[in-house]
Homo-oligomer: A and B are copies of this chain.
């Protein structure tokens, strides 16, 4: 099976890492819209337009499924993508909420969702959580976390002060949805702050979702991954080698 995966830039690599680790696909075609990233503070119409352009590009590879490995694009563009794609389209929001349900988080438990301004502003997580019966949900945009991760700052004094600003007055939670693909790189720091909370990782969540919906290859071979980007694919591949820690999977030429 060949999956296409799309993100605004490099963040979706944290999802690809989970997909590859679980050997769900024979091939993954990854496209990062690096020339226009990040999406997190952009307008919903822009996000929809860019996502449809990514679909057009990726459709050329005739994938068996498209994984929207970006919470912001999943929040705003999933319906349009589904209506135009000739194959299943899976986003990270439904799967994140499913992972919460499967992870033993109760309907009355205190759930925090963090994400970009656009993702949180869409109300997408909040509405779906409410529809599934979660009653105690707090949602918060945490825009500084993405640039911190992009600069390789995952913990330490700046992160501590940033957490204090964002989370200092919020109290405790039983579960935290890391609603942006950059955040898993900060998982140790988030885990230390939200002690005892279940942290939901978009990549691991989507693995569960794809398995449950039988959208995976039968075999168990290593996944071959090709990378494309709207600018500087070389830099994307470098980041991929570092983040994925699986350079042997990266195909250099289509």
Binding site for B on A (CB under 8 A): 34-36, 41-43, 45-46, 143-144, 146-148, 150-151, 153, 157-158, 160-162, 164-165, 231-232, 235
Taking CB atoms, residues of chain B closer than 8 Å to A143 are 147, 150-151
Contact indicator B43/A231 (Cβ below 8 Å): yes
Minimal Cβ-Cβ distance residue in B for A35: B46
Taking CB atoms, residues of chain B closer than 8 Å to A35 are 36, 42-43, 46
Minimal Cβ-Cβ distance residue in B for A147: B147
Alpha-carbon separation in the docked complex, A114 to B135 (Å): 47
The quantity of this chain's copies bound in the complex is 2
5 A-B pairs with least C-beta separation: A147-B147, A157-B161, A158-B161, A43-B232, A43-B231
Alpha-carbon separation in the docked complex, A150 to B38 (Å): 13
A35-B46, A36-B35 given; A41·B150 CB < 8 A: yes
Taking CB atoms, residues of chain B closer than 8 Å to A46 are 35, 231-232
25 A-B Cβ contacts within 8 A? A34-B42, A34-B43, A35-B36, A35-B42, A35-B43, A41-B150, A42-B231, A42-B232, A43-B231, A43-B232, A43-B235, A46-B231, A46-B232, A143-B150, A144-B144, A144-B147, A144-B148, A144-B158, A146-B147, A157-B164, A157-B165, A158-B161, A158-B162, A158-B165, A160-B161
Alpha-carbon separation in the docked complex, A239 to B153 (Å): 29
Least Cβ–Cβ distance between A42 and chain B, in angstroms: 6
Taking CB atoms, residues of chain B closer than 8 Å to A235 are 43
Taking CB atoms, residues of chain B closer than 8 Å to A148 are 144
Contact indicator A231/B158 (Cβ below 8 Å): no
Least Cβ–Cβ distance between A178 and chain B, in angstroms: 18
Least Cβ–Cβ distance between A181 and chain B, in angstroms: 17
Minimal Cβ-Cβ distance residue in B for A36: B36
Alpha-carbon separation in the docked complex, A158 to B147 (Å): 13
Taking CB atoms, residues of chain B closer than 8 Å to A45 are 231
Taking CB atoms, residues of chain B closer than 8 Å to A150 are 41, 143
Taking CB atoms, residues of chain B closer than 8 Å to A41 are 150
Alpha-carbon separation in the docked complex, A164 to B153 (Å): 14
Alpha-carbon separation in the docked complex, A35 to B42 (Å): 7
